[in-house]
Structure 1
Amino acid sequence: MKILLIGNDGRTHALAWKLINSPRVPEVICAPGNGGTAPFAPSVDLDVADAAGLSRWTFEEQIDLVIPASSAPLHTGLVDEVLMLNIGVWGASRRAASLERSRCLAKEFMLRHGVPTATGRAFTDLATAERYLATLPLPVMIKTDHPSGGEEIFDDRYAALEGLRRLFAARSLDGGEGVVIEAVLQGPRVALSALTDGRTAIPLLATRLYDRVEEGDRGAQACGVGAHTSNSIFAQRLTRYLHEKFILPFVAGLEKEGLPCWGLIGVDCVITAEGPRATALRFSFREGEAQVVLPRLEDDLLPWIEASITRRLHELPPPAWTTTPSVGLGLMARGYPNFFPTGGQIRGLEDIEPGVMIFHSATTNPAATAPYMPRALRSRGGSADALSSMIGGLLGMGGSPQGWSGLRTTGGLVATVVAQGISLPGARGRALINADRVQFEGRIYRSDIGERDFG
């Protein structure tokens, strides 16, 4: 089986590792991958924004399965294009994925289908938004329609009105205008993802996410700072609750509104004093979430993906999970997410203890990178890189394969150290010890990740 995995971050690395260790030993090609995937998966440079061109490439290269690690390819219509060529693709249609791209659409969808969310509404008319803003108690949060536009919290009514006008004018990537005005939510951030075939949904693990770069949830907001899963009674109940109250209405709403999705869906929540409240809907893992969830999945991932595409999820038994909690520490360059050094050499991977994973997010390893060989060249006597399927099991474990000497940073979130343990404190302790062994210029990480369960 030939699989095209699209992405270059930690989610890509985690998915590649899980797929390459399938008993079916598939050929995994990364577009483009990173320094972590380089030793075992050939890389190909494709224009991910060109959905039609990418789908033609998959047809010409006889790809059996296309898996986007992030939602970006979904927004360009990749699933719609690939399906027309009768190639397997794991993901949401462009219309469904718009719920992640537009906060206004997502807010209205959640209100229509009873997904618990913060008190508030979406607006595409400024005058109506101004009148509504006057009715809400302070503090209030105002979000731009597109997530890249940002969000702000206001404690002053006049400042909120000025902020509303400024944020409303921030045009989304699709050219639309609009804002979401809602009450401010306080509490820990949690994500739950699920596999779906458009009718059935299979929950994964509730994951505590950390999105502030400084200890105690302070400092700049950034993705991939840290994450953990737990096996406590509370964590198990939380997973069931989020599945019943958030994921199932999400899937039912997609089916009712004719929004096809054969892949991964997810809900981001804040656990408030009144209970969990959804802040976003999505169609891919969160950065950090995949890294701590997939190592706990004991099953082969491929049958689950195939069942999602063929609408057979209801035929499979519940997924099997390890009983060991997992903690992921994001290794960041000082200054992330704003200004940070890049190009520094990464050292210490050979000192990582067996069983601890290092999932790369922003690295390059030219010495180990093997370009994908097109079928046209193979037919003229070329050969595929047979080594790729042989060393997949060594990925990220203690005893790194040769070639790590050329590994360098390319961004602010460099990698995630993931450890499991009998208890959450035990997993956290292993993660901290091994995170300290990895060195690069300006390396920082939060030491309080996993300090408490979901509090």
Structure 2
Amino acid sequence: MKILLIGGGGREHALAWKLAQSPRVEKIYCAPGNPGIAALAECVNIDVNDNEALGQFALQHNIGLTVVGPELPLTNGLGDHFAALNLRVFGPARKAAALEGSKAFAKKIMHKYNIPTAASAAFTEADKAIAYIREQGAPIVVKADGLAAGKGVVVAMTVDEAVGAIDMMMRDKAFGNAGNLVVIEEYLEGEEASLLAFTDGYSVAPMVAAQDHKRIFDNDQGPNTGGMGTYAPAPVVTEAVRERVTREVLQPVIDGLRQEGIIYKGCLYAGLMITAQGPKVIEFNARFGDPETQVVLPLLEGDLVDIMEACVDEKLADVSINWKNEAAVCVVLAAGGYPGSYHKGDIVTGLDAAEARGAMVFHAGTGARDGQVVTNGGRVLGVTAIAADIRAAVDKVYRAVPEIEFAGLQYRKDIARRAFNRE
């Protein structure tokens, strides 16, 4: 079978790495890919948002399955376009992807189907939003309704900070049209976790729970990023919590969407806060998380292609999905200045040396120049290690990370510290 993978980041490199292990895969194409993915797939220079060009490529190259990595192609209707061409695609259609594309839509579904989440209100006028914030007080959470590359959320500890977030999103248009509507939520106390699941629109199969580290600096200091590292399994999600999330969150949202006439097929990502009252949904994503994929997929036993096809064919209940009894940790190496402005084009060295120490290096924001790997994004690489437990995986990954060098390199040195706090 030939596979087309859409995207060019660390998540897609991890997907390519796992898909390439399937004996059923004859060839992988990746649009647009990156230098790391190029070792596993033929990279083709097609924009991820060009539905027409991607569809034509899939038809011309006899693609048996298309796997969509990023959220934007999904919310832009790539799944619908491929379905119209009788092409098989792993990833939800546009209406289903609205679960990520519109926070207001996600809230509406959650409230309608009694899925535990923070109390919230939505606003299209800045003055009314600010009045509501002053009435509610702080801490409070301000979210741009639309897609903002993982940066459209401000957890405001003061009223002034929340008002500043409204000004930034609604008046200054920091995220363009994504901030035309804002959702303001109550602040939830607890520990965050991510639980991804495979789904065919009827059944759900949760993966191993992970915990992302959003802030740029150690001890969760500094501004939010797209994710500075992650580990799995996250001890905060006990087996009892995982079963409860499946029962109270994952299954009800899939069933609720189906009642709305929407069949959701693909990967469903629940961003959770584990509160004293139980798990509550912070957000849904309509695809694999980044960098969660870099720790979840290495723990998956068996053939990812079989699972994805079962989702497409509405036969997920017939597939047995197993997980290794091990742990994985991923540390993101970011460009200096990220998540603000940063330099591109710096030479990256030490990739082979890091892998010689037993790590996997997933390329996130890299490019190639004169036969060398160079930086080409804010989050440049994700260094992942697997071991018997989290502490051993942390030791292993932090032995590998210093082998890699590029100008301005920064990374967190405390990934998985919450897991140790629970020991």
TM-score greater than 0.5 by the shorter chain:
yes
In 1, the alpha carbon distance for the partners of 2:402 and 2:161 equals: 43
In 2, the alpha carbon distance for the partners of 1:329 and 1:155 equals: 27
Q: Which runs of 5+ in 2 are unaligned?
A: none
Which of 189, 192, 195 is matched with 1:192 structurally?
195
Structure-2 change in CA distance of 1:421 and 1:269 (3 Å) = same
SS at match of 1:107: helix
Q: Say which is worse superposed, 108-117 or 184-193, in terms of deviation.
A: 184-193
Report the count of equivalent residues.
Answer: 417
Matched, 1:210 2:213: yes
Q: Contact between 1:193 and 1:264, CA under 8 Å: does it hold in 2?
A: yes
Structure-2 change in CA distance of 1:142 and 1:451 (3 Å) = closer
SS at match of 2:39: coil
**How far does the alpha carbon of each residue in 1:347-373 deviate from its partner, in whole angstroms, 9 at most, with x for none?**
112223364211110112367xxxxxx
In 2, the alpha carbon distance for the partners of 1:150 and 1:349 equals: 32
Q: CA deviation at 1:138?
A: 2.8
**Sequence identity percentage:** 33
Q: CA deviation at 1:137?
A: 4.1
SS at match of 1:224: coil
Q: Could you tell me which residue of structure 2 aligns to residue 117 of structure 1?
A: 117
Q: Could you tell me which residue of structure 2 aligns to residue 306 of structure 1?
A: 309
Q: Could you tell me which residue of structure 2 aligns to residue 344 of structure 1?
A: 346
Structure 1 segment 227-246 matched on structure 2, within 5 A: 227-230=230-233, 235-246=238-249
Structure 1 segment 375-386 matched on structure 2, within 5 A: none
Structure-2 change in CA distance of 1:133 and 1:340 (3 Å) = closer
Matched, 1:286 2:286: no
Structure-2 change in CA distance of 1:143 and 1:430 (3 Å) = same
In 2, the alpha carbon distance for the partners of 1:161 and 1:232 equals: 35
Corresponding letter in the other structure for 2:230: A
**How far does the alpha carbon of each residue in 1:142-171 deviate from its partner, in whole angstroms, 9 at most, with x for none?**
222224283445566577567647644576
SS at match of 1:279: strand
In 2, the alpha carbon distance for the partners of 1:450 and 1:295 equals: 17
SS at match of 1:364: strand
Structure-2 change in CA distance of 1:263 and 1:7 (3 Å) = same
Matched, 1:418 2:390: no
Q: Contact between 2:223 and 2:339, CA under 8 Å: does it hold in 1?
A: yes
**How far does the alpha carbon of each residue in 1:402-446 deviate from its partner, in whole angstroms, 9 at most, with x for none?**
xxx611111121111111111211110000000111111122211
Matched, 1:11 2:11: yes
Matched, 1:437 2:403: yes
Q: CA deviation at 1:174?
A: 5.9
**How far does the alpha carbon of each residue in 1:91-120 deviate from its partner, in whole angstroms, 9 at most, with x for none?**
111111122111111122211122211122
Structure-2 change in CA distance of 1:193 and 1:212 (3 Å) = same
Structure 1 segment 400-419 matched on structure 2, within 5 A: 406-419=372-385
Which of 363, 385, 388 is matched with 1:360 structurally?
363
SS at match of 1:345: coil
Q: CA deviation at 1:8?
A: 0.5
SS at match of 2:302: coil
Which of 306, 315, 320 is matched with 2:318 structurally?
315
Q: Contact between 1:190 and 1:206, CA under 8 Å: does it hold in 2?
A: yes
Q: Say which is worse superposed, 101-110 or 6-15, in terms of deviation.
A: 101-110
Q: CA deviation at 1:337?
A: 1.3
**How far does the alpha carbon of each residue in 1:24-67 deviate from its partner, in whole angstroms, 9 at most, with x for none?**
23310010111101123111111322223321232122221111
In 1, the alpha carbon distance for the partners of 2:234 and 2:186 equals: 32
Q: Could you tell me which residue of structure 2 aligns to residue 53 of structure 1?
A: 53
Corresponding letter in the other structure for 2:206: P
SS at match of 2:296: helix
Q: Say which is worse superposed, 321-330 or 173-182, in terms of deviation.
A: 173-182
**How far does the alpha carbon of each residue in 1:261-305 deviate from its partner, in whole angstroms, 9 at most, with x for none?**
221111111223333221111111111100000011011100001
Structure-2 change in CA distance of 1:166 and 1:22 (3 Å) = closer
Corresponding letter in the other structure for 2:385: A
Q: Contact between 1:208 and 1:229, CA under 8 Å: does it hold in 2?
A: yes
In 1, the alpha carbon distance for the partners of 2:315 and 2:395 equals: 40
Q: Contact between 2:333 and 2:382, CA under 8 Å: does it hold in 1?
A: yes
Q: Could you tell me which residue of structure 2 aligns to residue 387 of structure 1?
A: none
Q: CA deviation at 1:14?
A: 0.3
Q: Could you tell me which residue of structure 2 aligns to residue 393 of structure 1?
A: none
Q: Could you tell me which residue of structure 2 aligns to residue 449 of structure 1?
A: 415
Q: Which runs of 5+ in 1 are unaligned?
A: 368-404
Matched, 1:65 2:65: yes
Q: Could you tell me which residue of structure 1 aligns to residue 84 of structure 2?
A: 84
Q: Contact between 2:211 and 2:234, CA under 8 Å: does it hold in 1?
A: no
In 2, the alpha carbon distance for the partners of 1:118 and 1:434 equals: 39
Q: TM-score, normalised by structure 1?
A: 0.85
Q: TM-score, normalised by structure 2?
A: 0.91
SS at match of 2:67: strand
Structure-2 change in CA distance of 1:176 and 1:96 (3 Å) = farther
CA RMSD of superposed structures (Å): 2.5
In 1, the alpha carbon distance for the partners of 2:48 and 2:147 equals: 20
In 1, the alpha carbon distance for the partners of 2:325 and 2:178 equals: 47
Corresponding letter in the other structure for 2:100: E
SS at match of 2:266: strand
SS at match of 2:23: coil
Q: Contact between 1:19 and 1:26, CA under 8 Å: does it hold in 2?
A: no
In 2, the alpha carbon distance for the partners of 1:8 and 1:449 equals: 24
Structure 1 segment 91-170 matched on structure 2, within 5 A: 91-124=91-124, 129=129, 132-133=132-133, 135-148=135-148, 150-154=152-156, 164=166, 167-169=169-171
